[in-house]
Amino acid sequence: MILRGSIILLSLLTLLTGCQSFSGRPRTPAEPQLTHHQETEIFVPPFRGHLYNDLAHVTGEMPGSAFDADVDMETNTIVFASDGFSERAKIFTQSIAGGTPIQRTFGAGSDIQPKWSPDGKWIAFASDRDGNFDLYVIHSDGSGGAWQITQGATDEMHPSWSPDGKFLAYCAKDTDGVWYLWKVKLEGSMHTQLVPGLFPEWSPDGSRLAFQSPSSRGTGFDEIWVIGVDGSGLTPVVSDPHFGAIQPSWDPYGDRIVFATITEISARPWEAPRAADLWIVDLNGSPPYRLTDHSAQDYAPCWGLDGRIYFSSDRRGGHRVLSLKPIGPISPFTGDDPLFPEGTP
């Protein structure tokens, strides 16, 4: 993936000037009021060798697929989805140090996209057990029943906890098929609509959400954006006409975002992309750099202990949870690179 040129500012749409709130389940959102905003086209250095070390297979050789991992840094435990022991995916937990995965959800439907609560006592996830995808919360040990958070007529997916554990951010599809960001206050079930987008991730300081949203340039690819949790300060982070940037995840300090890039667009954003690599962007304005360059799918990244990144990959034929340690950019872009001719992803 190579981009030619310097940083270019383009006129773009989108800054949500107001939010709508309501108590109860999400409904079709009203059209937001938009003002002009600017987009940054990022100049990306080419890949020059692996920018990570200590690649590790976390979930081992369990049957089926393992994907959508999230890390509880207090207990050094991962939660993930797997279809290895049932026809439909269920939620499992496992020590990062190894051991037997423990199944936490059961019954009908696919349970995917699990997220630890900040205190490690709860797991939020998306499930289509009642037809379409809704959000649920369970005790981290799987005991008791599931608390249903949304009951919309279309899909609600990808929960992300606020650092204080009082809110969930998520994305919901309206009746016209457009995905929007929402947040819900768990006490009282007050839902607030934000902007069009998917895969929201709450920043460590609780002030912002990173997310992906379709390009305004008509490429069909998604881009990475950041917005304040009150709907203000919409800021572009990664945008490119040649690839899509998806599935952002903050580092523990809120300084960097890891994300996946794709070259093929999927109509089902919760499924594994056909081709993907991992990249990191520093929010100080430095250009993104590439972590992986593999023919397999490397996607759904998240940060863990000691700066490690956990992600899903099919490098061994089946989807597993792997981890690696970034070591930073090796060299800047200095001109034409024969390994990456113009337009090559």
pLDDT in tens, 32-57: 333 333 333 333 444 444 578 888 99
Mean pLDDT over 120-126 rounds to 97
Cβ-based burial of 37 (10 A; exposed 0-12, middle 13-18, buried ≥19): middle
**Do the domain assignments include residue 151?**
yes
Task: Name the least confident of 21-25, 235-239, 278-282.
Answer: 21-25
Q: Calculate the dihedral angle through the C-alpha atoms of 305, 307, 308, 312, rounding to the nearest 10 degrees.
A: 100
**Do the domain assignments include residue 4?**
no
| Mean of all residue pLDDT scores within the chain | 80
pLDDT at 264: 78
**Do the domain assignments include residue 12?**
no
Strand partners, 147: 137
**Do the domain assignments include residue 335?**
no
Q: Calculate the dihedral angle through the C-alpha atoms of 312, 313, 318, 322, rounding to the nearest 10 degrees.
A: -70
3-state helix, strand, coil in the chain (%, to 5): 0, 45, 55
Number of alpha carbons in the 13 Å side-chain half-sphere of residue 89: 23
pLDDT of 21 above 50: no
Total count of domains within the chain: 1
Rounded CA gap, 142 and 103, in Å? 8
Q: What percent of the chain has pLDDT over 70?
A: 78
**3-class secondary-structure state, position 252:** coil
Q: Calculate the dihedral angle through the C-alpha atoms of 254, 8, 269, 96, rounding to the nearest 10 degrees.
A: -30
Within 13-119, strands assigned E span 20-23, 37-41, 52-57, 66-72, 77-82, 90-95, 102-103, 111-116
Name which residue leads in pLDDT, 195 or 175: 195
In the block, tokens 């006129």 appear at: 11
Domain holding 289: CATH number?
Answer: 2.120.10.30
**Do the domain assignments include residue 124?**
yes
Q: In residues, how long is the chain?
A: 345
Mean pLDDT over 202-226 rounds to 90
pLDDT at 3: 33
Rounded CA gap, 181 and 16, in Å? 11
Within 203-243, strands assigned E span 208-214, 222-228, 235-238
Query: Which structural domain, as residue segments, surrounds residue 148?
Result: 47-326
For residue 39, what are the CA distances in angstroms to 15, 116, 191, 223, 226? 11, 33, 28, 10, 12
Rounded CA gap, 279 and 322, in Å? 15
Q: Which 8-state DSSP code applies to residue 297? A: B
Q: Which residues make Cβ contacts (< 8 Å) with residue 261, sequence separation at least 6? A: 1, 243, 244, 245, 246, 276, 277, 278, 279, 345
pLDDT in tens, 284-302: 888 888 888 888 889 999 9
**3-class secondary-structure state, position 74:** coil
pLDDT in tens, 233-273: 999 999 888 888 999 999 999 999 999 998 877 767 667 67
**Do the domain assignments include residue 17?**
no
- For residue 274, the tally of other CB atoms under 10 A from its CB is 12
pLDDT of 304 above 80: yes
pTM as predicted = 0.81
Q: Residue 202 — very low, low, confident or very high, per pLDDT cuts 50/70/90? A: very high
**Do the domain assignments include residue 163?**
yes
Cβ–Cβ under 8 Å, residues 181 and 165: no
**Do the domain assignments include residue 23?**
no
**3-class secondary-structure state, position 100:** coil
